[in-house]
Structure 1
Amino acid sequence: MKTKLIYLLGLLTTLGLLSGCDDKFDEINTNKVDPTTLAPSFVMNKAIIDATYLDGFGTLEMLCYEFGIVQQIITPYGSSLAGANYNQNNVSNTPLVWQNFYRNVLKQIVDVVERTKDDANRTNLYHSARIWKAYSFMILTDTYGDIPYTEAAKGYISEITSPKYDAQEVIYKDLLKELDEASAGLDATRAVESTDILYGGNVAKWKKLGYSLMLRAAMRLTKVDPTTAKTYVTKAVAGGVMQSNDDNSVMRHSALYNNWIGNHLQAREKTNFYLAAPFVNYLKTNNDPRLGSIAVRYVGAKGGPEQVASRASTDPKVQVGMPMGYDNVTVSTPAVLAQYGVASLWDFTQVNLNTVLKLDAPEFHVTYSQTQLLLAEAAVRGWVTGNAADYFAKGIRANMEQMAAYDVSAAIKEDAIQAYLAAHPLDMTKALDQINTQYWVASFLNGPELFANFRRSGFPTLAKNPYPASEITEDFIRRMPYPDSETIVNLQNVNAAIARQGPNTLSTRVWWDKK
């Protein structure tokens, strides 16, 4: 009996303990500091940050292709760095814009658009997100042509894992509509997002970005649909484009959050990339003071270890750009070195890592300078009022003044700006050449925009890269091929895009890139 009593007491105690353990079970086992959702304003910031890539390797499409195609920065090396230097398809680097924007930027920004579209308290965030979404899709379609658009980045939202590819013509017309509606929809009397990393919630600046981006998108259509182009150029100007460098869309960096192009070149690729001869020669020939802000040469260096501060010169007179069409062996032959007056391939001019590519150097998306130069072209075409020469001069001045944003040592003095402008007025007999060549200079380090406007305008006039093992059928690379991963997971839709657009090669032109 005693044994049974002890057993019964033990059982009751156990049940009591179990009952006590269950008390407030859900509260105790809920992690109150692990978020299950993020504020859309923070997700928006992530989409803006990711547009300048997640690490140095993400910039290799710019470094190996876009900068080289437009002959501003080149590498003589092959293997993992092969690209525009040899006019070859390097399948490791051509997908990098695709991967970053679909996997990161658009995944974030589409989520923001979806979560704010019906929120009356966040209309400004919604319209700002639409503008950034349009900017992101512009980069993708300019780079690859036909792409997933209407069904893109909706895997989590609508479970669309094999999105169809939309024709670039359809994409551009919708982008213009989106920019028109979103820019007009921004309202300074409504709630703003003060945590906005780009403009701190300044609605007026977001409007100017939207309309300036609309101007850029409209000018893409100059060859294929000038009527639509003129319509939206007119709307952009009426809406209000950027008015000064204070309106620039710029990603600022710090010692902790780096400029990833600068980070990559200051680390593993420090001795591998050089300013190309066509770019250096253009700046030298025209006594352009920007060369002193952009370039450095380690005079007499015979190897990477000799690229030291004591050899560094930013004097424009001594800069020597690396010629196109060589690899690291052929550019190092005695005849070539003697022809260019350098001691070795390491003696050619590079981008200055202490100014425009220091670790905390800013990166620009859309600028007042670019906007003024596009207005200059629009004025030449008779699409806007105002004097083309005035827009032209303001665009050049704005870019020269923009140099100060990189570093105090990169700032250009007022007398140098005035002297350059006086020596380079707009000549209406060659206005499109002059304007778009200045756009080429003003867009330095903005790879996607350099590549797009070069194809769109046909300027500057560059000689074909003469490297003998070229894989392209035209004089220049015209687009990036779709990633191999797409043919594995989305083959039917890829094939439909190829059938409509043309072969999946470096030579196929996108819709707006007509001869």
Structure 2
Amino acid sequence: MTILTHKNTSTQNNPLVSVGPAKKIQNPSREKNCSLPTRPLLAILVIVFAFAATACRKDLSELNINPDQPLSADPNYLYVYALQQGMGNYNSDVNLRQWSIMNWTMYLAARGGVEEGREYEMPSGKDAFWREQYTNTLSNTQIIIEMAAENPNMVNMKAAAEIWQVYIFQILTDLWGDIPYSEALKGMTGLVFSPSYDSQQDIYLQMINKVRDAVQSFDPSAGFFNPESDLIYNGNMMKWQTLGNSLMLRLATRINRVDPQTYATIVEELKNKPLIRSQQEAALFPYNSVHKNPLWETMYRNESVIQNNPSKFFADLVDSRNDPRASVFFQEAPLSFLPFIPKYKGIPNLLPNGHAAWDNYNLNQSLGIAGEWGDISQIGTWFLRNNTPGVIMNYAEVCFLLAEAALQGLWDEDPQSLLREGVRAHIEYINLFGDEEHQIPESEIHIFLLNLPQVTLEEVITQKWLSFAYEQGFEAFAEYRRTGFPVLTDYFGHAINQDIFPKRLPYPPSEQTLNRANYNKALINQGPDNEFTHLWWNNTLSH
């Protein structure tokens, strides 16, 4: 069940559009010509049928009920569906995250290079992702919230749904900037079919308040309505509170350059609140053979996506640090048994088509399958399993957020220790969900942590970028735009051209046709509807 956010002029097959009561149309000439003897006869027939209808009313009303069509939505089904849709699907993963976001942030690179002037092509899946999240995820959580207003037993499901809404809305505003927020989900109850756009500044402040209120509204005496519908925490309200508080920290950190006062206030507020500080408290989505991990599904359903390999930037960065996660991030190049081919080798980002440097790749196709790009690594098999969990927010990220706060003197822990804790947390997460093939020994972890560089903001964000690999491309894209780290470089070692790097996604064309007036107002507030317009939280950044 979904809620339309725009008015649909067609009512055919649309149960959400009310056409109103049928208007009675009278024919004066027919009424005038009705003969006198006919009127008593009509009255008698009306009385007879009235008695017959009264006698059969109960049976007829029961016959009118379709047992296969429930009279009200099942909140458990809506909740499960909203969680699943919020985690993405095959189509959005192929067209938005794989081909675009993870190429832009240099986790991946496409074989064959780029065309000059088309280094950062806009993804075809962006419009579908906008539609999916508004119609499938947010609208269904809104139905739960409205149902809970009449059912006090749903108070905790309502709070979790509100936290989930904020999680999704942050992704959307970080991708597009100003978006429909305060009026976005009022198509059913408020009949708002052309919602106004809120400024990103207002959205962030409202999201922080909404998460805070949701965390405070959890009621331990009420239960979770149905814990089995909670695919993330199985109805554990304390863990939902830790996620809510941790999400507040993420929200506040994102705006710390443009609103340092709010950032400092939130960090201070969270000092006495539970945060995600263990693997057991991490918010993970349990992909399985039914609802498959989109990355796994992408790689095994779409052969063209196999043309995306780990990038040279990524492989070189991991290799230069002797990072023990290399064997997890990458598969060994098939031809790496040859002395002149490294074990882990990536595809160069932003290298133009036909450049002579491509002679150093795809070395010998005459070797058959092994030679067809056999000198290049593929994504590590740890990530290419249908049951590899989806990360919503994990222990490592919270450590890095706190390390950043500690660097600014706002958190009372040692930033170097928090940096080490975050790196360890990510490696232990890999071990926790890995088989024997994907275990990193404690001895290697210990040595790696001892040799970590001195803590700086660049090091914190770089380690966060590594922990986001393949799984949290949206967060990596946002954090790069906020901080400029890690410093992305092209094949020649030059820093990328920030003038052409995307700052946001253009709005879907449907917004120009179905919501034109509010779309135009958004452009006045935010700027031109192209990928070069800065968002509110990164409009002060120059790198």
TM-score, normalized by length of structure 1?
Answer: 0.85
Cross-structure match for 1:43: 78
CA distance in 1, matches of 2:171, 2:337: 35
Deviation at 1:29, TM superposition (A): 4.9
Encode CA deviations 1:32-85: one digit per residue, 9 max, x unaligned: 243232232331221111112243444421112211121111223699xx9998
Encode CA deviations 1:303-347: one digit per residue, 9 max, x unaligned: xxxxxxxx999xx950101101136755884255569xx955464
Cross-structure match for 2:216: 184
Cross-structure match for 1:93: 125
- Aligned pairs for 1:365-514 (under 5 A) are 365-408=392-435, 409-425=437-453, 427-428=454-455, 431-444=456-469, 445-463=471-489, 474-513=499-538, 514=540
* AA of the residue aligned to 1:261: L
Deviation at 1:115, TM superposition (A): 1.9
Deviation at 1:136, TM superposition (A): 0.8
CA distance in 2, matches of 1:229, 1:72: 29
- Aligned pairs for 1:334-353 (under 5 A) are 334-335=359-360, 344-345=372-373, 347-352=375-380
Encode CA deviations 1:75-112: one digit per residue, 9 max, x unaligned: 23699xx999821234x233243122112111111221
CA distance in 1, matches of 2:194, 2:390: 33
SS at match of 1:453: helix
Cross-structure match for 1:291: 326
* AA of the residue aligned to 1:373: F
**1:174 equivalenced with 2:206 (yes/no):** yes
Deviation at 1:349, TM superposition (A): 1.5
CA distance in 2, matches of 1:368, 1:76: 34
2:231–2:286 contact (8 Å) kept in structure 1: no
Encode CA deviations 1:6-38: one digit per residue, 9 max, x unaligned: xxxxxxxxx9xx999998344345322432322
SS at match of 1:156: coil
Encode CA deviations 1:381-416: one digit per residue, 9 max, x unaligned: 111111111111111001001113443122322112
Q: Identify if the C-alpha distance between structure 1 residues 265 and 237 changes in structure 2 by more than 3 Å, giving closer, same or farther.
A: farther
CA distance in 1, matches of 2:116, 2:195: 29
Deviation at 1:153, TM superposition (A): 2.4
1:76–1:326 contact (8 Å) kept in structure 2: no
Cross-structure match for 1:254: 288
CA RMSD of aligned residues (A): 3.0
1:356–1:406 contact (8 Å) kept in structure 2: no
CA distance in 2, matches of 1:465, 1:148: 39
Deviation at 1:189, TM superposition (A): 2.9
Q: Identify if the C-alpha distance between structure 1 residues 186 and 104 changes in structure 2 by more than 3 Å, giving closer, same or farther.
A: same
Encode CA deviations 1:238-273: one digit per residue, 9 max, x unaligned: 221112011111111112221112101112135221
SS at match of 2:487: coil
Deviation at 1:463, TM superposition (A): 2.0
Aligned partner (choices 135, 140, 152) of residue 184 of structure 2: 152
CA distance in 1, matches of 2:355, 2:388: 34
Gap runs ≥5 in structure 2: 1-48, 365-369
SS at match of 1:89: coil
* Aligned length, in residue pairs: 475
Deviation at 1:449, TM superposition (A): 0.8
Cross-structure match for 2:158: 126
Cross-structure match for 1:72: 107
Cross-structure match for 1:4: none
* AA of the residue aligned to 1:292: S
TM-score, normalized by length of structure 2?
Answer: 0.81
Q: Identify if the C-alpha distance between structure 1 residues 85 and 117 changes in structure 2 by more than 3 Å, giving closer, same or farther.
A: farther
Q: Computing the radius of gyration over CA atoms, which structure comes out larger, 1 or 2?
A: 2
SS at match of 1:365: strand
1:141–1:168 contact (8 Å) kept in structure 2: yes
Cross-structure match for 1:242: 276
2:200–2:536 contact (8 Å) kept in structure 1: yes
